[in-house]
Structure 1
Amino acid sequence: MAVKKNNNDNTEERKYSTLTKDILKRVDHISIENELKESYLNYAMSVIVSRALPDVRDGLKPVHRRILYAMYDANLTHDKPYKKSAATVGEVLARYHPHGDAAVYGTMVRMAQDFSMRYLLVDGQGNFGSVDDDPPAAMRYTEARMTKFAEEMLNDIEKETVKFVPNFDDSRTEPSVLPATVPQLLVNGSMGIAIGMATNMPPHNLKEVVNAIVYYIDHQDAEIKDLMRYIQGPDFPTAGIIYGKEGIKEAYTTGKGRIKLRARLEIEETKKDREAIVVKELPYGVVKTNLHEKIAELVKQGKIEGVADIRDESSNRSGIRLIIELKKGVATQIVLNQLWKHTDLEITFGIINLALVNGEPKVLNLKELIKYFVDHRVEVITKRTEYDLNQAKAKAHILEGLLIAQANIEEVIRIIRQSENTEAARNTLMSKFKLSEKQAQAILDMPLKRLTALEKLKIEQELQQLREFIAYCEDLLAHPEKILAVIKDELKNIAEKYGDDRRSEIIGKTNDTEIDEEDLIHDEDVAVSITTQGFIKRVPASSYRTQGRGGVGVQGGKSQGEHYIEHLFVASTKDYLFIFTDRGKAFWMKVHEIPALTKTSQGKSIKFILNLAPDEKITSYFTVSDFNPKQSIIMVTKMGTIKKMELKHLENAKKRGILALTLENNDELIGVSAVESGDDFIMTTASGLALRINEQKVRNMGRAAAGVKGITLDDNDICVSGNGIHKGESLIVITENGIGKRLSSKQFNAKGRGGKGQIYIKPDNKTGNVVSVKTVGDKDEIMVVTTDDMTIKIKADSIPELGRNAKGVKIVNISDGAKVSDLAVVPADTEKIKINKQKIILLSLYFLIRAFLYFTITLKSKNK
């Protein structure tokens, strides 16, 4: 059944149909692509010009300029009472800046923060935030006014020095730029993100900037390097240390650059005999609480080791004082390196000198920044002078009329009394005395007291001063160089009133863009010990005094049963240490990465440093001062196998480890030594045999190779060492009972590999088994460690050089039940020996010359 339509419904349909047709007639069909391009471009230009980028002339963004002008308009100068921030924000929003109140208040807060601005523009009263990123109090609580420094930005604005433009609703006008007596863009910098571009300009020291501008005014053909003699670099409100000048030079030359900024730290001793790293100054923009939390998190994750406690003792009185207390014996420099690497104690500040020049964004170098400021000041002073000149001429014109009236006072009074009205009197005065309308009106407005003789004298004096001022202004406008002199004088006055010392220290020569952490490590010889349980430590070698042969030694650790020092060697803190395990695995690290502890401490488990398996044991090691990939090493196993390999195969072995040698069953690596081309290599066995081989008899092999036979061993005999022999070195042998001797390397003839070797000692019950064989120089010292962790340091040449069959002499006295566990060589200070030799030669020459002169004089006396 069909449903009958209601007539009212049809009427409504016709009504909406007609309306739709009318709307469609007014719709323009355009390309959405073109509309998006045009609209977004308009939006982008609005953000760039009206919000995000500073003007190169006064260094301010629109919001900063409007805040300062609103305060000026409200008479909120430095000598007036504070006013609620909410009132100022309201004025800015209502009159000049049609945006959110949070944006205006946030900007005003930053202008009052001494850790954000190098030279404050707003003087705030109340909570305006902190370096801990604490939020400021609400604007209804805080109060603010301009600083005296900010007032310098508005000097002479009432003298028509800058262009005024209509505000957003055409209800009033606002300045398009401020007169800016101070170089705001350079001294306070600017940060802003626009559409497709950003600016990040660092602050600078006012005195340095003024000196550079003064130099530029006198030498406008100056190069950037000339200006850099005055401006050293950025000067941040939070101070800090700038490392390297190359980034500064690049930024000043091209307008873009990167600088490395570090916190200022001090090392202090705590009451617990620990060291503490104290943060005194932060890099610009780093939030202290965030830094504190980040360090704590990294310590918890194990990325920063050796930190016992972190606490913040900062206060308004003492300033920033963030204390990072270290564990006892931890290498402070290692922790510092970790902090530089993983935290904001070191940041990179990217400089982009982007500002608006004639309304267009432009990246500017240092000279251009100074030039545009000087050009702006020339324009401001020119307009100010023109304004003052016009005002002076107008006033002088009036005074000239008053003097005419004074000279003809009786006639003037008569004319005024006889005139019907003011207009008639004015016209009569103008025609009678050839006066202008303004002069005639001034005479009519003149009070009777000005008719006195004294007043006439004052008018004449004032007119004379005005004529001199007019001449000065006309001369100034006629000579541009004099305008530049005025700029110089005003800038010097600004620097004298507000200038202060530089806060940020700059370290490093022009090319020092990177700081080598190795330069921060103290280079010294240290004794490194590794225990049977894998605990490692380093102690300054100088802490062990040299004793005579046969001494007992001093405590060098804390032995506990089977836990004692098993390996001992001496190396420089800057050396590379290669460690090998019983599985043929190799690791390397820098010696300074080993924990620095006391002589009697146990050490730190090496498993916290190297990626060792639970049952993996360290069996050998060697050190080199430089990592030369082409240098060869020779590895020796307990079963007499040797393998020669280039160091480059171990380049990736740092801490995680890499397989260096494939071992047979029941075999283990017992010695590794670096060798130079042409060196000999000597292998020694526990039974007292030694085989000398030239390294060229062994070819270099790959990392996966198992090696070749080095020495033929008797049944039950094993290899105990393998050492490279250098010119002038001898062998030193020590047994487990402290018996030892030196042997000249000449006593051993070089043989081919695979031989049985020659006798170097005959171990027996008195001597005990051979523990260690090392190569040593005459001027070297040795350190011997026992299983009860007693350590003795003696001169190598105090041990006699004996024959191969000699049993040896007592080197160290050992307590009952203890044995010698290892021997280390302390290299001689060759530089010191060289200097001593030079001193001896010079002294010898001195005495020879004196003797020659004495005999010459004596002989001449006898002849006379």
Structure 2
Amino acid sequence: MTEGEKLIPVDISEEMKSAYIDYSMSVIVSRALPDVRDGLKPVHRRVLYGMYDMGVLSSRAYKKSAAIVGEVLGKYHPHGDIAVYDTMVRMAQYWSLRYKLVDGQGNFGSMGGDSPAAMRYTEARMRKFSEDMLSDIDKETVDHQLTYDDSREEPTVLPTRIPNLLVNGSAGIAVGMATNMAPHNLSEVIDGTIAYIDNNDIEIDELIKYIKAPDFPTGGIIYGYEGVKEAFKTGRGRIIVRAKAEFQEVRGKECIVVSEVPYQVNTADLIKKTADLVKEGKLEGISDVRDESARNKLRIVYILKRDAVPNIVLNNLFKHTELQTSFSVNNIALVKGRPELLNLKDLIHHFVEHRHEVVYRRTDFELRKAKERIHILEGFMKVMATEDTMGKAIEIIRFHDKPKEDLIAEFDLTDIQAEAILALALRRINKALILQTKEEYEQKLLEIQDLEDILARKERRVEIIKQELLEIKEKYGDERRSVIEYAGGEFSVEDMIPDDKVVITISHAGYIKRTLLSEYKTQSRGGVGQKASATRDKDFIEHLFIGTNHQYMLFFTEKGKCFWLRVYEIPEGGKNTKGRAIQNLINIEPDDLVKAVICTHDLKEKDYTNSHYVIMATKKGIIKKTSLEQYSRPRQNG
């Protein structure tokens, strides 16, 4: 031990405890959780502010990513360069953020998990969207703090006009807590926010009419609605998301084509896992999987075996692969620096409160600047009052040793007014300038009156907030990408499907389709008719029914089985399509054949099923009559 040193004995468990608490608080507050007001974590905020400070705006040229990362590291964020670059990359990926914050040029990775190019190869700039998150930052609208080295200041939050936390969501793992917030549709969020502004006591059930469900950047189908309602009401919930898949015939083979996958699913891993499951025999009916995706357009094709039933294969894919995933909502964000679990209304409330503060502070700043300007204009007007006063002023400026002091004494000016007059080039003073000064003075008076009114009346500020939100909706609002399938919730599928009249045609070879009755136009007298259906060679239409989407079809087979299909489950086709093979729609055995088809009304209606009968006759002359009630309990496998 050297001289002058002193040892202090410390209890190691106490030291570990206090050190870990400090570390965990730092992770919670300064790294992993977003601020409820602008929806950003410190690193995101610093990247955007760094780009703004460099002037890499949406209207200017792209700048090397390495230059931007260096700027952010050097000035604001003294951590790893990979952390900063990865943050910037994610903000430029259309499949990661519902509304991108960075406009990237170059290879920024792919949905298949490909890495982005190194930062020395890529370029970036801000998008208009992120510029609107920084608008008015120079008007003292938000608090600033010193950076890590006390050399400059950075904002503690952005004055955002956009409810970014709701529209882009967030994910982060802190210590002892985590956050996972879903993205939403901007148009819906703004409609919901305006509804809240109009009525602060609005219930969440009312807000749900505006903000229907999350809206993921990769689209997909939100399957069932209970989890969505739970998440909106409590801040926690499990939302099931399915891929968007359809059955197609590609080069004569039945295929399942996937055009949208659930959020955050890696398509390369998905295809690999499917191939592994097929090899292991856990997924049957698939002969090949192909990734036919092109730039910005996803297409995964599952080619089916001849005897496979597409519906069964698809359900197995949903069960065993990431074509169906669940998104666990956990809305934890920082409110005044403390982590809180927030429901939908809380999130909107905190954003609106933030906008109130920003509008107030912006107006206060503009009022101060207007008063400063009017003070200078009053000085100009004293000097420019008459030709005599102007001559006197010119004489003082040209010939006096202390023009500033003499101007102040002669015209009763303040120090600031005298400085402004000295800065004005004398040769510029003419009648036009005098007129311009008077006009500007009158405009400033009106402006001050208006700004004071905004500060005095909350209803004025509310109108401004609403107007600015509507402008944002006009600029960036778009259609939903994720479809909501309410089935499985309190909505029935029928609620979502209109009960239109349709024509159902079945060909001799077993191809079935439904076509809207409205496609068959009324024929005028002497009409020559028009093509009504397409068939394959040597095929012909064998059965034709007219029904509605909500009715049931009963299929009776050679082996004595009965299968059910709702009419809306039959694929829709135009007049010129041949339809789909019945075998692909019902779980019929390969060597069985459909022999008879009936179209019935609602099988759930007791009076109807008890008063109607099915009559069957065999080739050999045996006949029987059975109550329709006995056929009123549909089973998947007949």
TM-score, normalised to structure 2, is: 0.79
C-alpha displacement of 1:574: 7.6
Report the CA distance between 1:294 and its aligned residue. Answer: 0.8
Written as runs of structure 1 = structure 2, the 5 A alignment for 1:155-554 is 155-272=135-252, 274-316=253-295, 319-414=297-392, 417=395, 424-508=402-486, 511=489
Matched residue SS, 1:94: helix
Q: 2:614·2:625 contact (CA, 8 Å) conserved in 1? A: no
- The partner residue of 2:616 within 753, 763, 780 is 780
Mapped partners of 1:778, 1:491: distance in 2:
61
Residue type of the alignment partner of 1:90: G
- Report how far residue 410 of structure 1 moved: 2.8
What does residue 528 of structure 2 align with? none
**Cα contact 2:245–2:257 (8 A) shared by 1:** yes
Q: CA deviation at 1:408?
A: 4.1
Q: Distance in 2 between matches of 1:212 and 1:170?
A: 41
Corresponding residue for 1:565?
A: none
Counterpart CA distance in 1 for 2:107 and 2:6 is 56
Distance 1:415 1:64 in 2: 54
What's the counterpart of residue 725 of structure 1? none
3-state secondary structure, aligned to 2:402: helix
Please tell me the residue identity of whatever aligns with 2:117. A
Give the AA of the match of 1:473: L
Give the 3 Å change call, closer, same or farther, for CA 794–346 of structure 1 in structure 2. Answer: farther
Q: Look up the SS of the partner of 1:779 in the other structure.
A: strand
- Pick closer, same or farther for the CA change 1:257–1:434 going to 2, 3 Å: same
Whether contact under 8 Å (1:334, 1:593) holds in the other structure is: no
1:518 equivalent in structure 2: none
Deviation at 1:544, TM superposition (A): 12
Counterpart residue identity of residue 240, structure 1:
G
Match of 2:120 in 1: 140
- Once the two structures are superposed, the pairs formed by residues 563-582 of structure 1 within 5 Å of their partners are 569-573=559-563
C-alpha contact 2:290 2:302 (8 A) present in aligned 1: yes
Partners of 1:368 and 1:184 in 2: how far apart? 14
User: Using a 3 Å threshold, how does the CA distance of structure 1 residues 498 and 312 change in structure 2: closer, same or farther?
Assistant: same
Alignment-derived partner of residue 597 in structure 1: 590
- Would you say 1:57 and 2:37 are equivalent positions? yes
Alpha-carbon distance in 1 for matches of 2:325, 2:357: 40
SS at match of 1:780: strand
1:88 paired residue number = 68
SS at match of 1:27: coil
Cα distance in 2, alignment partners of residues 428 and 413 from structure 1: 14
Instruction: Please give the per-residue CA displacement for 1:610-649, whole angstroms capped at 9, x wherever unaligned.
Output: xxxxxxxxxxxxxxxxxxxxxxxxxxxxxxxxxxxxxxxx
Alpha-carbon distance in 1 for matches of 2:243, 2:197: 36
1:773-812 map, 5 Å: 779-782=615-618, 796-797=622-623
Which residue of structure 2 aligns with residue 830 of structure 1?
Answer: 628
**Which amino acid is the alignment partner of residue 301 of structure 1?**
E
2:95 is the alignment partner of 1:115? yes
- For residues 437-464 of structure 1, the C-alpha deviation after alignment (integer angstroms, 9 at most, x for no partner) is 1112222222224421111111111111
How far apart, in 2, do the equivalents of 1:402 and 1:31 lie? Answer: 72
Distance in 2 (CA, whole Å) between partners of 1:32 and 1:471 is 65
- 8 A contact 2:559–2:592 mirrored in 1: no
2:73 matched to 1:129? Answer: no
SS of residue paired to 1:26: coil
Q: Which residue does 1:838 correspond to in 2?
A: none
Q: Which residue of 1 aligns with 2:535?
A: none
Say if 1:231 and 1:828 are closer, same or farther in 2 by CA, change over 3 A: same
> What fraction of aligned residue pairs are identical, expressed as a percent?
49
Is the Cα contact below 8 Å between 1:779 and 1:795 reproduced in 2?
A: no
Which amino acid counterpart does residue 411 of structure 2 have in structure 1? F
Structure 2 CA distance for aligned equivalents of residues 419 and 316 of structure 1: 69
**For residues 463 and 171 of structure 2, what CA distance do their matches in structure 1 show?**
32
SS of alignment partner, residue 435 of structure 1: coil
Matched residues in 1 for 2:259 and 2:472: separation? 30
Q: Distance in 2 between matches of 1:270 and 1:440?
A: 83
Q: Is the 8 A contact 2:34 2:334 kept in 1?
A: yes
Per the TM alignment, residue 492 of structure 1 is displaced from its structure 2 partner at its CA by 0.3
Aligned-pair CA distance for 1:29: 1.1
* Secondary structure, counterpart of 2:132 in structure 1: helix
Distance in 2 separating the partners of 1:593 and 1:142: 52
- Quick check: 1:202–1:234 contact (8 Å CA) kept in 2? yes
Cα distance change of structure 1 residues 337 and 419 upon mapping to structure 2, 3 Å threshold: closer
Structure 2 unaligned segments of length 5 or more: list them.
494-540, 544-557, 566-584, 594-612, 633-638
Tell me: CA distance 1:285–1:794, structure 2 relative to 1, closer, same or farther (3 Å). Answer: farther
Q: Residue deviations 1:377-401, cap 9 Å, x none?
A: 1111111101100101111111111
The Cα RMSD (Å) is 2.8
* Larger gyration radius, structure 1 or structure 2: 1
In the superposition, relative to structure 1, how do residues 58 and 422 fare at CA in structure 2: closer, same or farther (>3 Å)?
farther
Q: How does 1:67-78 map to 2 (within 5 A)?
A: 67-78=47-58
For 1:283, the aligned partner's letter is P
Deviation, 1:33, is 1.3
The residue matched to 2:561 in structure 1 has which SS? strand
User: SS state of the match for residue 407, structure 1?
Assistant: coil
Post-superposition offset of 1:595: 6.3
Give the 5 Å matches for 1:658-669: none
Deviation at 1:599, TM superposition (A): 5.0
Figure out how many residues of one structure are paired with residues of the other and give that number.
Answer: 535
Higher relative contact order (CA 8 A, sep 6+): 2
- The one-letter amino acid of 2:562's match is S
Residues 781 and 827 in structure 1, CA contact (< 8 A), matched pair in contact too: no
Between the aligned partners of 2:473 and 2:357, the Cα distance in structure 1 is 21
CA contact (8 A) 2:394 2:426 kept: no
Unaligned residue ranges in structure 1 (runs of 5+): 1-18, 516-542, 546-567, 576-591, 601-776, 783-792, 798-825, 835-864
The answer to whether the 8 A contact 1:124-1:145 is kept is yes
Q: Judge which range, 186-195 or 409-418, deviates more.
A: 409-418
Are the structure 2 counterparts of residues 419 and 252 from structure 1 closer, same or farther at C-alpha, using a change threshold of 3 Å? closer
Q: Which runs of 4+ in 1 moved over 6 A?
A: 419-423, 592-595, 831-834
Q: Closer, same or farther in 2 for the Cα pair 1:195/1:405, shift >3 Å?
A: same
**Hey, what's the Cα distance between the residues in 1 that align with 2:230 and 2:628?**
43
Instruction: Give 1:333 deviation, angstroms.
Output: 1.4
**Code of the aligned partner of 2:431:** A
Aligned-residue offset at 1:473 = 0.4
Tell me the alpha carbon deviations over residues 668-692 of structure 1, each in whole angstroms, 9 at most, x when there is no partner. Answer: xxxxxxxxxxxxxxxxxxxxxxxxx
For the Cα contact (< 8 Å) 2:383–2:393, is it kept in 1?
Answer: no
Distance in 2, matches of 1:433 and 1:448, equals 17
Instruction: Give per-residue Cα distances to partners, 1:715-747, cap 9 Å, x unaligned.
Output: xxxxxxxxxxxxxxxxxxxxxxxxxxxxxxxxx
Distance 1:418-1:179 versus aligned 2 partners, 3 A rule:
closer
Q: Which amino acid aligns with 2:31?
A: R
| 1:173 CA displacement | 1.0
